[in-house]
Structure 1
Amino acid sequence: MASCVSSGVQTTVETTGPTVQEALTYHGPKARIAVASFKCKAAKCSGAIGDGLSDMLATALFRTGRFIVLERGEGLKAIQEELNLGQSGYVRKGAAPKMGLMEGADILVIGAITAFEPNASGIGGGGIVIPYKIPLIGGARLSKKEAYIAADIRLVDVRTGRIINATTVEGKASSWKVGGGMGTILGSVALGGALGAYKNTPMEKAIRVMLYNAVNAIAKMVPENYYRWGADTQGSAAPGPQPVASAGASQPAPAAGGLVRPSARFSPGNRVVWEEDFSSCQEVPTTVKILRGSVECVKFQGKTWLATVKGEVHFSKRLSGFSFAKDWALEYAFYYGAYMPWGKAAVRLGRANSPFFLDLEKGSVKGDTIFKWMERPIPLDQDIVGRVHRVALQKKGDTLRVFFDGRRLFSGRVDQLALSRLPSVLYFMVGSGYADIETGKYVLITDIRLTTY
């Protein structure tokens, strides 16, 4: 959890990752993102206010340098009108913009304003009580002339419609001067739409504080594998997904002419063999076979996960009409709630004792992370506790590659004949003998996807 408390301001963001200041110096691959108009769910908020907030957020996200921001507000309507004019015959031949060249967003930011109090003075004897839980100031009274705003934000994968992440951001202020990091990224962003009425008031600062924390949260919540577009690419000629360099992984040096190996980026197969996000699970999963341990389905960050309740959990899935000798890709997301010795998020191919396995676990000390394919160590330059991560195995021909959060960390040769003899079963090992969900020690897994090429 990152929190910001400054003079007259209190904000909270429940997430981890790079800060706005880190984003301002960012020069790596970008994520394609669009911002939908914010819905007003607070009594004093109007639709025009929601439009203004989404415009300001889009501008701030663009300024971080981490995102290719796609227009989805009034600008999109203007673009559509210009394209239609180009097709009408009124524009000189060869000078009209072409249809079908617009980029699509990978992520859509959806927001809802849940509290909007421009001035609490005179309400309820000098203050109001926020009617829902706020992490730092929930239930606390706002003093006279304090402004307060809060919003729920969700990141949605445009391709699948799945919620990637969600959080609440807020701003509270009794003065209106903007400084520090907020001044860097939001100080010169004009108040959008109906928000102009709050210029040079505490509400202006509360809005900017909330948006500053929204940018912080979004930069932290977007998974690594979405940052896959060239740092200098803004047009339709964007290259395919690019590798995100890892300090702990050896990446091939580009040859003259900018050679990029095809193995440097991950893309799933075009045919889904098995997909499981546990969204139909009410309490205990029935779509996989539980072989060991105690599990239940839980809600976390807008998703449903299989959670280890007690001890290490083993579960399997039999795959009809599939052979490991084919070209395939296996992906899954996992989350460690807290450090526990030998906490696993591992998978084996074919059998519980298969020699073909991906081992990912914590060691006997907190800083020790073990990551390997068939006893071959894979360097990993970060801790894996407290943040959602995604692992992918990709088999093409006799080459197997391992990806972590979109980065290729390993590639090696596999015996195709031995793979062809494996039963068509996936075995997962999740959790630890020390796991106990009642004490916050657990491992979650979801978004399992097996595809073929």
Structure 2
Amino acid sequence: MQRILAVFSVLFMFLLAGCAGSSAQVVSSSSTAPTITEAQQAPVDGEKRRIAVSRFDMRAGPDVGSAMADFLTDALFNSGRFIVLERARLDEVRAEQRLQSSAEFRADTAAEVGQFEGAELLIRGAVVAFEPDCKGISVLLAGTGTACITMNLRIVDVTTGRIVNATTVEATSKSNQVGIFFARGDLPIGLGAYNRTPMEQALRNAIDTAVRHIVETKI
């Protein structure tokens, strides 16, 4: 009996040691982002504008248009200044609604169909320069390991189709004019190859600057 207790004691200590060596942390949340309840209860006709982001056109660099749209969408949500609507993966939401409407699901827990909200503003982005190494752009940047990115943003009024704002954002990894505030956490899937590289800082500076401009424009 004592031998059995000793074995269980060793196993218990082993499990504790394993737990002690484990860790997890949230790395992408923002104190300015709305809570789940706030996001769900924000009035459709309130002060916050309903905004959506379309896939970026990539006129330079790798095909990371979807990842850039994800990056900007997350940053807009984390700003806490807009009602941000999903567009990139809306088919997945539709599929879940269809699944819940089947006989296998309780009707009182199924999502109500026909409640999607329309965007007031649509952001269209285009990356026109994407250089992980800016050598040759200028004498000052040559050989410094600086990354550069330039993107054009158009904000379109969905009701009229009018362009209400057009902005070009240029950013480098050497920029210290803005801090990483809205663009937190790891880079989105598709941009992971640039984690912990000069291009990561350039991307963050570009997205952060873009969101700050959109917020300050008070569209």
TM-score normalised by length of structure 2: 0.72
Deviation (angstroms), 1:36 = 0.9
What is residue 173 of structure 1 aligned with on the other side?
A: 173
Displacement of 1:94 after TM fit?
2.1
- Alignment partner, residue 194 of structure 1: 190
- Determine the structure 1 residue equivalent to 2:204: 208
| Match among 77, 81, 101 for residue 62 of structure 1 | 77
> How many Å apart are 1:77 and its aligned residue?
2.0
1:207 counterpart letter in structure 2: L
Counterpart check, 1:38 vs 2:61: no
Is the 8 Å Cα contact of residues 97 and 111 (structure 2) preserved in structure 1? yes
Structure 1 stretches (4+) deviating beyond 4 angstroms? none
The equivalent residue for 2:214 is: 218
CA–CA separation in structure 1 for the residues paired with 2:141 and 2:102: 56
Question: 1:127 offset after TM fit, Å?
Answer: 1.1
AA aligned to 1:143 is: A
* Shift, 1:210, TM fit: 0.4
SS of the equivalent of 1:51 reads helix
Note the aligned Cα RMSD (angstroms): 2.4
Map Cα deviations across residues 162-191 of structure 1 (whole Å, 9 max, x no partner): 11110101111259xxx88533322x3320
> Which protein is bigger by CA-based radius of gyration?
1
TM superposition shift of 1:201? 0.8
Structure 1 residue 83: Cα displacement: 0.9
Rate the CA distance shift 1:165–1:184 in 2: closer, same or farther, 3 A: closer
Q: Distance in 1 between matches of 2:147 and 2:114?
A: 45
Partners in 2 of 1:180 and 1:149 — Cα distance?
15
Instruction: Point out the structure with the larger strand share.
Output: 1
Who is 1:150 aligned against?
150
Corresponding residue of 1:82: 96
Map of 1:239 onto structure 2: none
Asked if 1:184 is matched to 2:181, the reply is yes
Question: Is the 8 Å Cα contact of residues 51 and 192 (structure 1) preserved in structure 2?
Answer: no
Q: CA deviation at 1:193?
A: 1.9
SS of 1:169's equivalent?
strand
Partners of 2:105 and 2:130 in 1: how far apart? Answer: 46
- Counterpart of 2:55, as a letter, is S
Distance in 2 (alpha carbons) for counterparts of 1:118 and 1:192: 17
Residues 391-410 of structure 1: pairs in structure 2 closer than 5 A: none
Q: Distance in 1 between matches of 2:185 and 2:69?
A: 12
1:176-225 C-alpha deviation (Å, 9 max, x unpaired) = xxx88533322x332012211011111000000001111022123343xx
Residue identity over aligned pairs, in percent, reads 42
Q: Secondary structure at the match of 2:154?
A: strand
Q: 1:180, 1:90 → 2: CA distance?
A: 55
Q: Distance in 2 between matches of 1:40 and 1:89?
A: 43
- 1:324-363 paired onto structure 2 within 5 Å: none
* Counterpart code for 2:122: L
Q: Does the C-alpha gap of structure 1 residues 205 and 66 become closer, same or farther in structure 2, counting only changes over 3 Å?
A: same
Distance verdict in 2 for CA 1:149–1:181, change over 3 Å: closer
Query: Contact 1:114/1:151 (CA < 8 Å) preserved in 2?
Result: yes
| Equivalent position SS for 2:167 | strand
CA distances 1:126-181 after superposition (whole Å, capped 9, x unpaired): 4137xxxxxxxxxx774222100010000001111111110101111259xxx885
3-state SS in 2 of match to 1:55: helix
Unaligned runs of 5+ in 1: 1-23, 121-125, 130-139, 224-453
SS of the aligned residue for 2:129 comes to: strand
Residue in structure 2 matched with residue 102 of structure 1 by the alignment? 116
**Deviation at 1:82?**
0.4
8 Å CA contact 2:119–2:158 kept in 1: the answer is yes
The amino acid across from 2:179 in the alignment is M
Letter paired with 1:45: P
Shift in Å at residue 58 of structure 1?
A: 1.1
Post-superposition Cα deviations, 1:53-80, rounded to whole Å, max 9, x if no partner, equal: 1111111111222101011112x22211
Cα distance in 2 for residues equivalent to 1:67 and 1:51: 20
Question: Which residue is equivalent to 1:29?
Answer: 47
Distance 2:78 2:124 in 1: 19
SS at match of 2:191: helix
Q: SS of the counterpart of 1:128?
A: coil
Give the unaligned 5+ runs of structure 2. 1-31, 34-45
Amino acid paired to 2:136: G
Q: Judge conservation of contact 1:56–1:189 (CA < 8 Å) in 2.
A: no
Residue in structure 1 matching 2:87, options 62, 72, 78: 72
Q: Report the AA paired with residue 103 of structure 2.
A: G
Q: Is the 8 A contact 1:60 1:189 kept in 2?
A: no
SS of 1:37's partner is coil
AA of the residue aligned to 2:200:
E
In structure 1, what is the Cα distance between the partners aligned to 2:180 and 2:167?
A: 23
Distance 1:193 1:112 in 2: 18
